[in-house]
Amino acid sequence: MTPHRETRAQSASASQTADTVPLGVLPEWDLSDLYSGMDSPAFRDDLTQSAAAAKIFADTYRGNLSALAAGPDAAVALDHAISQYEALDDKLGRIMSYASLLYAGDTSDTGRAKFFGDAQEQVTTISSDLLFFTLELNRIDDDVLGDAASLPPLDRYRPWLDDLRREKPYQLEDRVEQLFHEKSVTGRAAWVRLFDETMTALRFSVDGESLPLEKTLNLFQDTRRDRRRAAAEALGKTLKENERTLALITNTLAKDRDIGDQWRGFADVADARHLANRVEGQVVDALLQAVQSAYPRLSHRYYRLKARWFGVGQLDYWDRNAPLPDSPNWTASWGEARATILEAYDAFSPKLAGIAQTFFDKGWIDAPLRPGKAPGAFSHPTVPSAHPYILVNYQGRPRDVMILAHELGHGVHQVLAGPNGALMAPTPLTLAETASVFGEMLTFRSLREKTADPRARFALLAAKVEDMLNTVVRQIAFYSFERKLHQERRSGELTAERIGDLWMSVQTESLGPAIRLGPGYETFWSYVPHFIHSPFYVYAYAFGDCLVNSLYGVYEKTPAGFAERYLAMLSAGGSKTYTELLAPFGLDAHDPGFWSIGLDLIAGMIDELEALDRSA
């Protein structure tokens, strides 16, 4: 799921906004491939059957895995057990995918909220009977399990078992793990739900209009400066009025994470995320340092240029993502967006485009804004026995086209990885953003090649630079903010004012002196959903963008055979490490110079803008 990024897009003119230009018929997803409705007999049966199957599974295998591993047919016996576990995981994943997607469609609907909450409780209870399985597998002697995993048919699960082994040093005693698991419903999950429902319910008064979060944020790309300012002030005012609740949610979840980290023995606040991402902390630290060192030649330099284009010494924060003065304005209908993306995907790989087209043809996308609908955008993988679903809030802006291209990249990746099965299809975040950012890059390059008007090409290039700054610089600033917040939280609760101070410090550092951060901006940390849903997720965007820049460089130099290698990388899902997957492209994220490749590409685009600006 991608966070809302305050990225710039060319706006329609003041008299022809995205609200008034016909967008065509926007699709709403059809969830019947999962279940027919909340009263579906199949849904009830799956819950009942899963509960019974989980108890039988526990009765069969609890306390017996070590003996199976030491037996004469260990590979066959363990493969049979893991296959049953995987089937249950897929069924429970289907149940929760349906409940969460239905809820995302309208989080204000009390019936859907109850349905989601009930499903979450029941699945948590059922999965408690399965919790022992991975814990016991990790108590098997390394040599014994390794010998069994080297033989068929168990060798197909070797990557999953290797991944599982990485969790071993941080596992707790079974009953403690079960307590953590069962308490999550009334702990972390409940606070996340409170955040979601709070943000969905908020309304922001902009020039007499009462707007939800998504429409308010979208006004930051309006052509009218007074409209952008009104949106910013409304956002700051309403967030300020709710900051005590939002600060309490943030403090509680940070402390909850700290308790878990302390029990498991994680030293650094982000170590659990690094483990989940299967990436070394040193690699992330190198990325952090490389991006922070590049602030002056990237974001600081670009925003100085943009301030000059606006004829001012400093840009107010509500103008940071504003359309460039006198830039051509256009709004893309849904049909135009679809054609643009599929054409760009097809030029790279017809197979890629064919999978993307399936999302349009089969009702796997939910596009229109609706009251209560979750803000932002995401591609939910659901389970390998089904297919992904995409949620966007499409308003016709060029940036909306890029967001759709981004989420379709996720969706294609998830489809390709599906055959690996429920245990090995999921991709660590270090690679999960690769296909999405690559999809954006393909769409941008295609649009640029087809744009003849010099002003439009200039605006398109500037928009891409801003997107990349928002993906790399801004997300690393978000990561730095999270680190500061979680580190301080270990010493006690933080006031909303203190959280705002931390936020302002990293924003000032990353955006530079050409951006004026006025009153109200200190509250903007409180609407970013990834701080709540997935702490420390955000560095994956910078990781993915720099990685894609490097991949695209390889593609431009040696296009022959690249698409096949790229699709093979996506098809691997979580069955290989990012190091293994990058090797066929000659890339190594452990190389100190790796991150500079991606950062240099952004700097080169800014150089091009400067050159075009001087020649105008």
Mean pLDDT score, 139-150: 96
Q: What is the pLDDT of residue 12?
A: 30
Mean pLDDT score, 301-326: 95
Residues of the chain above pLDDT 90, percent: 88
Is residue 425 left, alpha or beta, with left meaning phi > 0 and alpha meaning psi from -120 to 50?
alpha
Q: What is the pLDDT of residue 535?
A: 96
pLDDT of 176 higher than 50? yes
Under DSSP, the state recorded for 155 is: G
More confident residue, 2 or 395: 395
Least confident of 58-62, 141-145, 585-589: 585-589
pTM: 0.89
88, 57 contact by CB (below 8 A) = yes
Taking the C-alpha atoms of residue 406 and residue 534, their distance in angstroms, rounded to an integer, is 19
Taking the C-alpha atoms of residue 344 and residue 440, their distance in angstroms, rounded to an integer, is 9
Q: What is the pLDDT of residue 615?
A: 61
Q: How many helices (H) and strands (E) does the chain have?
A: 28, 7
What does the pLDDT look like over 347-369, one tens digit per residue?
999 999 999 999 999 999 999 99
Q: What is the pLDDT of residue 327?
A: 81
pLDDT of 182 higher than 80? yes
Closest CA to 273 of 46, 56, 11, 486: 486
Question: Residue 218: which residues within 8 A CB-CB, separation 6 or more?
Answer: 18, 395, 397
Element (H, E) at 522: none
20: helix, strand or coil: coil
CA 323 to chain centre: 25
pLDDT of 4 higher than 60? no
Q: What is the pLDDT of residue 105?
A: 97
Taking the C-alpha atoms of residue 427 and residue 446, their distance in angstroms, rounded to an integer, is 27
Q: What is the pLDDT of residue 19?
A: 46
Is residue 376 left, alpha or beta, with left meaning phi > 0 and alpha meaning psi from -120 to 50?
left
Report, in this order, helix, strand and coil percent for the chain, each rounded to 5: 65, 5, 30
- Banded model confidence at residue 573, pLDDT cuts 50, 70, 90: very high
pLDDT of 11 higher than 70? no
Quote the longest CA-to-CA distance of the chain.
79
Give, in order, the Cα–Cα distances in Å from 152 to each of 77, 157, 579: 11, 9, 25
446: helix, strand or coil: helix
Mean pLDDT score, 209-230: 94
Give, in order, the Cα–Cα distances in Å from 273 to each of 114, 251, 265: 30, 18, 13
Closest CA to 187 of 260, 261, 96: 260
Mean pLDDT score, 126-143: 96
Q: Domain 31-190, what architecture?
A: Up-down Bundle (1.20)
Q: Which H, E and C letters describe 370-398, residue by residue?
A: CCCCCCCEEEECCCCCCCCEEECCCCCCH
106: helix, strand or coil: coil
Question: Residue 244: which residues within 8 A CB-CB, separation 6 or more?
Answer: 496
The residue count of the chain comes to: 616
Domain boundaries, the chain: 31-190
What does the pLDDT look like over 79-102, one tens digit per residue?
999 999 999 999 999 999 999 999
More confident residue, 472 or 451: 472
Which residue bears the tokens 């994943």?
A: 93
Mean pLDDT score, 406-426: 97
- Banded model confidence at residue 616, pLDDT cuts 50, 70, 90: low
Mean pLDDT score, 516-538: 96
Closest CA to 323 of 432, 397, 249: 397
Residue 351 in tokens: 């197979």
Say if residue 296 is preceded by a cis peptide, omega within 30 of 0. no
What does the pLDDT look like over 463-520, one tens digit per residue?
999 999 999 999 999 999 999 999 999 999 999 999 999 999 999 999 999 999 999 9
Q: What is the pLDDT of residue 555?
A: 93
Closest CA to 367 of 404, 415, 406, 409: 404
| Averaged confidence pLDDT in the chain | 93
Q: What is the pLDDT of residue 330?
A: 79
213, 2 contact by CB (below 8 A) = no
Give, in order, the Cα–Cα distances in Å from 591 to each of 178, 283, 382: 40, 9, 35
Taking the C-alpha atoms of residue 125 and residue 115, their distance in angstroms, rounded to an integer, is 15
What does the pLDDT look like over 94-130, one tens digit per residue?
999 999 999 999 999 999 999 999 999 999 999 999 9
What does the pLDDT look like over 257-269, one tens digit per residue?
999 999 999 999 9
- Banded model confidence at residue 21, pLDDT cuts 50, 70, 90: low
Residues of the chain above pLDDT 70, percent: 96
According to DSSP, the β-strands at 378-380 and 515-516 are unpaired
Under DSSP, the state recorded for 64 is: T
Mean pLDDT score, 407-426: 97
- Banded model confidence at residue 429, pLDDT cuts 50, 70, 90: confident
